[in-house]
Structure 1
Amino acid sequence: MFQLRQDIPDRVFFAAGFVIPVVLLLMWWLVTSLGLVKPLFLPGPLSVVGEGWRQLTEGILFEDASVSVYRIVVGWAVATVVAVPVGILMGNYRIVEGLFEPLISTARYMPVVALIPLSILWAGIGDGQKILILFLGTFFQQTLMIMDNVKNIDINLIRAGQTLGFTNNEILRRIILPAALPGIWDTFRITIGWTWTYLVVAELVAANSGLGRRIMDAQRYLSTDTILFGTLFIGLLGLLTDYLFKRAGKSLFKWSSQTR
């Protein structure tokens, strides 16, 4: 039987995260070493690492990564700046939820790839178009999640504020927002992960650099090692982002069980 969360030491929890990746890496090395799969379809780990080293030494990796990170940060930040007030208002005022929820719930199911032609018409082919795609891929889900963060706080906290004679604005400012902040921060962590998944889509059209663009170019020439390295590197950057948000959340909200 598995032990409960609180019974697992941190070092064991940390070490457990390496078990499955190491097993998959060994299986990957074994399959490619035995020649069970042609390198065109699955290059070996050493080939992928070699491709990464080539990009690093030639300066390609830093250039692509810096451009992509800039687009990710700006796209997610713009979506967040708009989603936070809209989500808080929807979660706190039923009439605002009634106004916006049907539209936002419908829009979040629209495929972002299908909006690429419109995004080019609206924003051209520069960074603005890439940022717009990242915004559209993040904003709608983030707004609804923030709304739920606000709606799902303990009703007894609100009743306590009413008993103390707080106005609606005071309840929102002094009770609802502090109680919802740990959940909202966790929403930030999750949604910036979604933004990373839209990177290749955002850099699909008229991009001269970027990790996603490098992957798309490699597809044309069947450079499978470049595709694999780029995909894994994006995953590692996303994992680093997730870790930073987790650490920051634990520091900011030590009193909350949601950040443990």
Structure 2
Amino acid sequence: PVEAFLEPFVSFARYLPASAFIPLLILWAGIGELQKLLVIFIGAVFQIILMVAVTVGATRRDLVEAAYTLGARDSGIIRRVLLPSAAPEIAEILRLVLGWAWTYVIVAELIGSSSGIGHMITDSQALLNTGQIIFGIIVIGLIGLISDFLFKAFNAWLFPWKLA
């Protein structure tokens, strides 16, 4: 019942580009860190909800039924069956969404920010400083690559039975 109620809203919201909200967020939150956090939230939360719901829904039915047979309640099913079963995939979803979130931050900085790598790139464009623009792009890529590597390593450590 909850899924049937939320699914249309989540499906609609996931097609809304986070960057389209930036002008509105600048009006509401100003130019700063809150605006960037709101862009990340808008861009990531609906994707996460949808992908986690699909992942949890793919839990083996026989495990859930066995837990019910053994007397587990709904909260126990969630805590002892659904979450442990889906945790490695949820961690992988979060790793993927981290990449999207990083993109949203840069877009927010490019469009409306007074600080950050995106802002530095925009300033460099105004000054025709292509070297600085290329440097900013390389830094973005390196930070993304390093954070992805660290997240993969953490997932491999946290879930050694899964190939990360």
Q: How does 1:69-108 map to 2 (within 5 A)?
A: 95-108=1-14
What residue in structure 1 maps to residue 147 of structure 2?
241
Structure 1: stretches of 5+ with no match in the other structure? 1-94
Contact 2:56 2:83 (8 Å CA) reproduced: yes
In the alignment, what sits opposite 1:149?
55
Q: In structure 2, what residue type is equivalent to 1:216? A: T
- Alpha carbons 2:31, 2:112 under 8 Å: kept: yes
Where do residues 222-241 of structure 1 align in structure 2 (5 Å cutoff)?
Answer: 222-241=128-147
**Quick one: which amino acid aligns to residue 210 of structure 1?**
G
Q: Paired residue for 1:71? A: none
1:172 and 2:78 correspond = yes
- Please say which structure displays the higher CA radius of gyration: 1
Q: Superposition RMSD on alpha carbons, in Å?
A: 1.5
Structure 1 residues 58-104: Cα deviation after superposition (integer angstroms, max 9, x where no partner): xxxxxxxxxxxxxxxxxxxxxxxxxxxxxxxxxxxxx1211212111
Which residue matches 1:220?
126
Alignment length (residue pairs): 164
Note the C-alpha offset of 1:208. Answer: 2.6
Give the whole-Å Cα distance in 2 for the aligned partners of 1:113 and 1:172.
35
Aligned-residue offset at 1:150: 0.8
- The percent of aligned pairs where both chains have the same amino acid is 46
Letter in 2 for 1:239: L
Give the Cα separation in 1 of the matches to 2:71 and 2:127. Answer: 69
The 5-angstrom pairing of residues 157-168 of structure 1 reads 157-168=63-74
Q: Aligned residue for 2:106?
A: 200
- Alignment partners' CA distance in 2, 1:200 and 1:105: 25
Is structure 2 residue 13 aligned with structure 1 residue 122? Answer: no
AA aligned opposite 1:176: L
- Counterpart in the other structure of 1:136: 42
State whether residues 193 and 238 of structure 1, in contact with CA within 8 Å, keep that contact through their aligned partners in structure 2: yes
Give me the TM-score of the superposition, normalised by structure 1.
0.60
Matched with 1:183 is: 89
For residue 148 of structure 1, report the CA deviation from its aligned partner. 1.3
User: Structure 1 residue runs of 4+, over 6 Å off?
Assistant: none
